[in-house]
Amino acid sequence: MEPVPPFPIFGGLHLATLAAMALLGLATVAVPRCWPNRFPPRKVAVAFAVYMLAQECLDRGWHYFVEQDGILSVLPLHLCGMSVFLTALLLLTRSYAIFEVLYFWGLAGAGMAILTPDVKFGCPHLLFITFFVSHAQIIIGVAYAAVHWGYRPTIRSLVKVILLTNLYMLVVAPVDWALQANYLFLCEKPAGISLLDALGPWPWYILGMEAAGIVIFGLCYLPWGVADALRSHRTSSLQAAD
């Protein structure tokens, strides 16, 4: 099947796909919440993790063996590629440390990828399906941990993920140089429409990407920060009244 031009952002197909991913997320999170005896949350989490790993292997294998993209294109070094495996690990281990990273990488990275997809194949091509489902699964995994285990980010989580993301960029940069790859888009912008298009040419867009990442991470934390501030204000008001 020949590659087709990227479909229009927020066109009919895109909106329908977003709706389907939202329904998938709602079902995955809500069903074990509403019927825990029939769908035990722990078993659902494990099954979800196993499915994610199987689908990612299928996706990477198709890229390598069918599309012949080469090993340099299929390593899971992009944030979303790494996040798929971290999400599976989160669901299997219930690690809060992993949740802290995935909350920001998932909402910012996978969320941006779904809203501005860089897909080279149209629906119903396998790679079209795996692209949207795998990115949606990252966000669903974060929501699952928040709803079923009560996990939430803190201001320390925000600081940690900013430092970790920069450290990860420093690790991936020499890999890009050695393999002549473009993981994390450190060497050039993605082919499709993305936020990086508004951040200038290389290498300046990398600085813009850094600043935009910090802002987006901050916006992801903002609802929790506001809730904490309101809770603190309410507690102070009650103490003052007493």
pLDDT tens profile 182-238: 999 899 887 766 777 788 888 888 999 899 999 999 999 999 999 888 887 787 776
Residue in the block written with tokens 């007493």: 242
Q: Consecutive 10-residue runs of the chain (242 residues): their mean pLDDT?
A: 62 93 96 96 97 95 89 86 96 97 94 86 89 96 97 95 95 92 88 75 89 93 91 73 64
Question: Which of 29, 41, 17 is CA-nearest to residue 135?
Answer: 17
Question: pLDDT value at position 193?
Answer: 67
The CB density around residue 174, as the number of other CB atoms within 10 Å, is 9
8 Å CB contact between 119 and 55? no
Distance, in Å, from the CA atom of 226 to the CA atom of 213, rounded to the nearest integer, reads 20
Question: Which of 234, 236, 176 is CA-nearest to residue 206?
Answer: 176
Question: pLDDT value at position 135?
Answer: 96
**Is this model's pTM higher than 0.85 or not?**
yes
Distance, in Å, from the CA atom of 41 to the CA atom of 32, rounded to the nearest integer, reads 5
Phi, psi at 56, each rounded to 5°: -65, -40
Question: pLDDT value at position 1?
Answer: 45
| Category of 2 on φ-ψ map: left (φ > 0), alpha (ψ -120 to 50) or beta | beta
Distance, in Å, from the CA atom of 227 to the CA atom of 233, rounded to the nearest integer, reads 10
Distance, in Å, from the CA atom of 65 to the CA atom of 78, rounded to the nearest integer, reads 20
Question: Which of 117, 137, 109 is CA-nearest to residue 27?
Answer: 137
107-112 long-range Cβ contacts below 8 angstroms, 24+ apart: 107/139, 107/142, 107/220, 108/213, 108/216, 108/217, 108/220, 109/79, 109/80, 109/83, 109/138, 110/80, 110/83, 110/135, 110/136, 110/138, 110/139, 111/139, 112/194, 112/195, 112/216
CA 13 remoteness from chain centre: 21
Distance, in Å, from the CA atom of 230 to the CA atom of 211, rounded to the nearest integer, reads 28
